[in-house]
Amino acid sequence: MKVLIQHSEKMSYLAGNGRWVASEDEADDFFTLREAHIIAESEKIKNFRIVIYTPRQESQP
């Protein structure tokens, strides 16, 4: 499970060095909702949402 910051309009995710990426897998994990919120506000990101992402796992036969 990852805690991500997503730009609400661009639908991209915050990654290292302030880059925005399309893939949840490339995005930074902020570990807690509180940490994600603090980072988003400190970076002055407008129109963001915090997303809890769980990678889809291949089903076992």
Residue 32 resides in a domain? yes
Is pLDDT of 51 > 70? Answer: yes
Query: For residue 21, how many other CB atoms are within 10 A of its CB?
Result: 14
Q: What is the pLDDT of residue 3?
A: 98
Residue 49 resides in a domain? yes
Residue 26 resides in a domain? yes
Q: C-alpha distances in angstroms, 58 versus 55, 61?
A: 10, 9
Q: How many domains does the chain have?
A: 1
Q: What is the pLDDT of residue 57?
A: 79
Residue 61 resides in a domain? no
Residue 20 resides in a domain? yes
Residue 23 resides in a domain? yes
**Percent of the chain's residues with pLDDT above 90:** 84
Averaged pLDDT for residues 28-48: 96
